[in-house]
Chains A and B, each alone.
Chain A
């Protein structure tokens, strides 16, 4: 009986210890202090995409003064960053490069339409159905939520059809309620041949 009491007390102690170390933090006292909110940034004017260039390599150390400058310990609160030399540019073998083509923006647009169709399908339980004009109408707010699912770069003709980069109506091929093949006729503006751009 006495032996069992000791075991019980030991178990209670262990439980209490585990609870003490694993207890959740009190409300309002985050375990890690949050960084102070940064000052609101002034709105910047829209800029063109910056040209990405490799950082310049640091100048080589050629004098004792430069060596001293590197070895001098940083003052409290300041850091002295030593830039590593940039890696050499990766050379892609000739046969593995994507040649810059005029189809690249069209591919991106196809991906955007496909993404929008997926969003539409998830929201409404299936893709819009019908011809290009009917599907475009549904994507362009003609749905129960009056929500717009057309890409920002949309182009439409008088018949209400969504046009590709070259001004040809897209062909929407409905395989199922959630799988739609989006076909652009490509630069030659003729559907169903080798230069078609197909997005699924």
Chain B
């Protein structure tokens, strides 16, 4: 319960005032009077002021509590929710004033009584009546029912709308019909505000900004897994954001100290929701790995599809992301993590290897991503330049030359690659001495050099410049590169160096779209050009003699 400076009390008043305003509006439509009209319009100012008071307290609270430790997370979420609810409650009150003002345009007030506005008011009033208890008791079902009021109001509005449109076609009572339509429209917009309030309630309870349709997808996915607990027993925690457009959260069905439930993994599971295509790719990737290399990726517990959205409930893999290990673990743990990483990767490459040449297509991938890069960094494609006869090739020339080289340079064999082998797409479990892959929606049979280059560049571009940590990163890159070279040697892959140069050029260049630091991103782009230039000028000589200028990664 929030007790500071009477914020909870102010909020209670706000809800009560808006309820009163809605009731008065409904009464006014039934039986209008000047006194009631004035009261409704007058109360609007009071509600407006109350909203300002509450907002000031909310912002004041955040301002005051900034500092070490800050505001308790759960309390901060409640304050945020109060602020959002308050803004939307005030909007509801405004719409009430709009509704009563519309009645001035009716030539005959009784005309309105032929239309079913009453049921819309019943829905709105029922919803507001639940609001405080839902908030105070953190009742997720109550929050969902507040959200659902919007669906009901939309449906009622549609019925009214269709009827009025039909009647307008007769050409009679046009002014009255349009006025009634406007009143219905304002009531429908109250539904939109109630949906925002419901979503704020969910946020205050779960601490996760989640849209109602996402929540329903989660609910259905959980039901499909055979999870029998009520939604209120689900602890929904956001564990990381993602730039790839999916929302990810961790679902833990246990209460603290409670024993594990059968069916769903006792350590919880991960819920992912996003564009159907992406979720389907992720599911296919997870299933592919489960069939090929059991235990490497999370188990799929459930899948749900709804229009162009999809959701997945997958096993939560305990452990640390490899980037955390790299930056924070002790020396011995890090050494061990690298050992497990290289052992696992080597085993995967050996067991999934198919002895058939495969075109890598690094330059095609780079060209496809170039527009996205140029959108962020317009100056990253430069023309050919010449200094006293010494030509420095431009970006288009290098891309074309390297694409030709690449056509002559297929990988001698393919392996099942991760496809987005970023250092933060792996989980290392020190207890079980296991490594797991995350985000496998791009996994396929390909040149292993792609995974190596993505891994190296994801290390390279970590925004860490402290000397000791940088040395660790450099050590990790050097070790992994030397591991890849040793594998190539064993596998008689004689063109790894040239392909690696192209793959690194591609990763360095395309990763600049995530880098906003001008000097750093320009440096990455220049290094990509440097690598392409070295490859392009080697043409005509045997590719076995090309040596990757690996210093691009180390200084």
Q: Are A and B subunits of one complex? A: no
Residues of chain B at the chain A interface (Cβ within 8 Å): none
